[in-house]
Structure 1
Amino acid sequence: MIKNYKEHPVAKASGTIFPVISNQRMNGYLKEIADICGISKNLTFHLARHTFATTVTLSNGVPIESVSKMLGHTSIRTTQIYAKVLEHKLSEDMNNLRLRMASTKQSG
């Protein structure tokens, strides 16, 4: 619960709700979690942010302006990079669908 961190010295010193740790330490924790879970992919904080932006928010219809604010981007142009990844994936998916539909017509 948030109130458990109310008096945390690191959070108080930084003026944040939760203590903030470095990317290096966060990546170390993510590596440890991946090892425990048997995940071979190199998990990083950057990968987590990217996954949040694309898979969790944009793919589920959250407006890009909201995602931009959530990620702390000062310019929406930075967030649009994530949207381009989705457009590329959408194009691939539509092409795969077209191929499947064509093969269904031939076999039917």
Structure 2
Amino acid sequence: MKKNLTFHMARHTFATTVTLSNGVPIESVSKMLGHQSIKITQHYAKVLDKKLSEDMEILRKRIELNGDR
């Protein structure tokens, strides 16, 4: 790796790869990072395409289950 790892890069990686992509709510990530506002966390944590796809699949399954009632 030819790039220097910075504190900012480490926080961003933690926020996206370690927490959000493993289903940790952004509110919890915000607290872990010590942010006073979730808006600050949103700068670090962009929604990952994989996570978005997984969330939509969960929603689709919930809608299907509720439709069978």
TM-score, length-scaled by structure 2: 0.64
| Superposition CA RMSD, Å | 1.8
Structure 1 residue aligned with 2:49: 90
Structure 1 residue aligned with 2:7: 45
> Which residue identity lines up with residue 66 of structure 1 in the other structure?
S
Shift of 1:42: 1.8
> Which residue identity lines up with residue 49 of structure 2 in the other structure?
L
| Residue 21 of structure 2 is aligned to residue 54 of structure 1 | no
After the TM superposition, list the runs of 4 or more consecutive aligned residues in structure 1 that deviate by more than 4 angstroms: none
- How far apart, CA to CA, are the structure 2 residues paired with 1:68 and 1:53? 9
- Between the two proteins, what is the percent identity of the paired residues? 75
Structure 2 residue aligned with 1:72: 34
Structure 2 gaps of 5+ residues are: 54-69
> Which residue identity lines up with residue 90 of structure 1 in the other structure?
D
Structure 1 residue aligned with 2:25: 63
Structure 1 gaps of 5+ residues are: 1-38, 95-108
Structure (1 or 2) with the larger CA radius of gyration: 1
Shift of 1:41: 1.6
Q: Which has the higher contact order (CA 8 A, sep 6+)?
A: 2
- How far apart, CA to CA, are the structure 2 residues paired with 1:82 and 1:47? 9
Counting matched residue pairs gives 51
TM-score, length-scaled by structure 1: 0.42
